[in-house]
Amino acid sequence: MTQHNYEVTQVAGGVPIKTWTRGVAFEDEARQQLINLSRLPFIHKWIAAMPDVHLGKGATIGSVVPTLNAIIPAAVGVDIGCGMMAVKTEIRAEQLPDSLRDVRHAIERAVPHGREMQRNRGGRDKGAWGQLPDDVTLTWNELAEPFARLCDKYPLLKNTNNINHLGTLGTGNHFIEVCLDESDAVWVMLHSGSRGVGNRIGSHFIELAQKEMQRWQIQLPDRDLAYLPEGSAYFADYVEAVEWAQHFARLNRDLMMQRVLNAMSESLKLNFQSRLAAVNCHHNYVSREYHYGKNVLITRKGAVRAGLGEWGIIPGSMGAKSFIVRGLGNEESFCSCSHGAGRILSRTAAKKQVSLEQHIAATAGVECRKDQSVIDETPAAYKPIEQVMAAQSDLVEIMHTLKQVVCVKG
């Protein structure tokens, strides 16, 4: 008999909630958000919560929400298509220099990243790049025509950074890392999404959904649970916009990865093969899937698809391990797993509770920035990744264990 790790909460007036949180912190506020979600009339079967579950805006981060003929824009969120990419290279640990500072600086020069962009240019800019490089322009050509069609319907989308953010990292928990696996092979891993244009798309349709709820006089436990029924005025446009943003996010990761690999080759003075193994997966997105006899819309907010044999990435914090995993196809979770360790401290709380000395000690052995501006991303702000992985042993199997040696934070 299959051993399952989840626990079931029955909800009065709603569908059940299945949580993979044994041995992992799970705050009451997040639990209440899941209860609110479970009471919506179009949820299919149950809500699934991953072990990295924590409080989010509108919908809980680390949740898997199956819906019939409706989408909740805030459940997808504003970082549409945010996800991970990792590639294995033929570089070995012994080929790396003792100091990796030059490698980190080379990566930082190759990929504009959020805090520097904000500090140097402020607000919306031409200047994530200044003059657009050829690889950015070439990549944008694949996105330009469908974006123009969206802008014809929603002109405010033109007033975003769109092409100027393509190939840039962003802020917060977005990162680029150089890692070693269990056999001392070098991997490159990065985390980013659809940047400012995805944020604008998400925010706009969340607002439109809320206005539709007012127009239809639909009362919700949380206004951020406003939804768009299939066939309604904005549903098809939202699906089109989300699919475009997800495509932007995937191409954005591809573009940054190539720039990072080129920067490493130049810095290390090595010609090497990459993509000996490659994984590229979203963890903030919506897709059409078939589960329990129905074609449904699956919204994964801070969760990764883990179908049978599908590869994924579950990163820890900037001082912890990360994992390349393969899905076990567990239908109880709608074939999903966690997208990371999950926050246990808010950014404000981390800055108040963790000293710079503690942060430096927690990131020992990692070439990264060790200053006050990254305290909100310190390892203590996240749940222990080993506990998170143990709680989802029925969802994924670990294929590679990675330990970062370089970390560039947005």
Catalytic residues: 339
Report the amino acid identity of residue 189.
Answer: M
What are residue 393's phi and psi, to 5 degrees? -65, -15
Which pairs count as long-range contacts for 92-99, CB under 8 Å and 24+ apart, including other chains?
A: 92/184, 92/185, 92/186, 93/180, 93/184, 93/185, 93/186, 94/184, 95/186, 95/268, 95/270, 96/186, 96/268, 96/405, 97/268, 99/367
What is the Cα–Cα distance from 104 to 68, expressed in whole angstroms? Answer: 46
What is the Cα–Cα distance from 58 to 227, expressed in whole angstroms? Answer: 11
What separation in angstroms does the CA of 231 have from each of 216, 294, 403? 15, 18, 47
Reading the block at residue 139, the tokens are 């990549």
Q: Please return the burial class of 42, using the count of CB atoms within 10 Å of its CB with bins 0-12, 13-18 and 19+.
A: middle
3-state secondary structure of 304: strand
What is the Cα–Cα distance from 210 to 155, expressed in whole angstroms? Answer: 20
State the Cα torsion 274-386-53-13 to the nearest 10°: 130
